Amino acid sequence: MSQYEAMSDTPTAEKATHTKPQLILGLDYGVKKMGMALGNSITNTARAFDILAMNNGQPDWDNLLGIIDTWGVTQVVVGLPLNMDGSSSMLSKRAHKFARRLAHRMSEQRMLVEVLLCDERLTSIAARELAWDEGWIQQPNDPIDDISACILLSAYFSEPSSALAIAAVSKD
């Protein structure tokens, strides 16, 4: 029995004190590939999910929207690759645009999924160090984008108020 099925046996009074579990998708946006991680709002944990190929910053939209729909994702946290001083980079502008397009495409399909942007500075460095130390990669150039997405979600779980809803982000 899954933890979600086990929760259905919870007495009604106890259910009222718990929020509904949510599955959150973390995306480490990139021009050539995008790392994906799935997070659980009850345990505030994330796991590496997949790495999607990107075509000059554009995903296979049908595949991405299908993943979101199939898994019942309720929030998508897109990593915002800011410069170390907090200023925008060319890639952060592209991540903004991607997040806006994702929100728009989901609203067109009547998918009720919130899109958030979250600072992802240093996640790739931390992911590479972790993957190397744990033996998950064998070569310095092995992909770690899905691990970066896990670290992004962990940061979001630690400080959810630091993420900005895409509706609150101005266009560049």
Q: Where do the structural domains in the chain lie, given as residue ranges?
A: 22-168
- Rounded CA gap, 48 and 35, in Å? 8
Strand residue runs (E) in the chain: 23-28, 33-40, 45-53, 73-80, 114-119, 164-165
Tell me whether residue 161 is exposed, middle or buried, using C-beta atoms within 10 angstroms of its C-beta: 0 to 12, 13 to 18, 19 or more.
exposed
**pLDDT confidence bin for 11, thresholds 50/70/90:** very low
Residue among 115, 126, 116, 114 at smallest CA distance from 150? 126
Show Cβ contacts of residue 139 under 8 Å, excluding neighbours closer than 6 positions. Answer: none
- What pTM was estimated for this model as a whole? 0.78
For residues 158 and 110, is the Cβ–Cβ distance under 8 A?
Answer: no
* % residues pLDDT > 70 (the chain): 85
pLDDT number for residue 61:
95
pLDDT of residue 168: 47
What does pLDDT average to over the chain? 82
Overall average pLDDT of the 71-89 stretch = 89
Architecture of the domain spanning 22-168: 2-Layer Sandwich (3.30)
Tokens of 11: 């007495």
Pull the structure tokens for residue 169.
């982000």
The pLDDT value recorded for residue 167 is 63
